[in-house]
Amino acid sequence: DSGVTQTPKHLITATGQRVTLRCSPRSGDLSVYWYQQSLDQGLQFLIQYYNGEERAKGNILERFSAQQFPDLHSELNLSSLELGDSALYFCASSEGGVNYGYTFGSGTRLTVV
């Protein structure tokens, strides 16, 4: 157990639907990062939050949004889902920024049918 908790572990949904992925960072970590991993695109950085504020944005689609709550847990919302959104979505946390190693959760495997 890495200390980063992601739920659900698996999600199967239909095209056009909306889902919410949840992440609880490791205790004491203020930064949360979301990544998408697919066979064709590899690991893609989506977005980072630090203590509730958006810090950096990567290749995140407009159909996707995220937020970090006062208790530091984060949610990634994916809407108008397409087949190509099927991927592993990872959340990671760190005590600071990019000068610290990241602790990854075990991921949410999203399958869009």
- Provide the binding-site residues for other proteins, judged by CB under 8 A: 2, 4, 33, 35, 42-43, 45, 48, 55-56, 58, 88, 90, 92, 97-107, 109
Question: Parallel, antiparallel, or unpaired for β 53-57 and 42-50?
Answer: antiparallel
- Minimum distance of other proteins from residue 16's CB (angstroms): 26
Q: Considering beta carbons, is residue 40 or 71 the nearer one to other proteins? A: 40
Q: Which amino acid is at 79?
A: S
Residues 6+ apart with CB under 8 A from 98: none
Q: Considering beta carbons, is residue 16 or 96 the nearer one to other proteins? A: 96
Q: Considering beta carbons, is residue 58 or 84 the nearer one to other proteins? A: 58
Peptide bond into 8 cis (omega under 30): yes
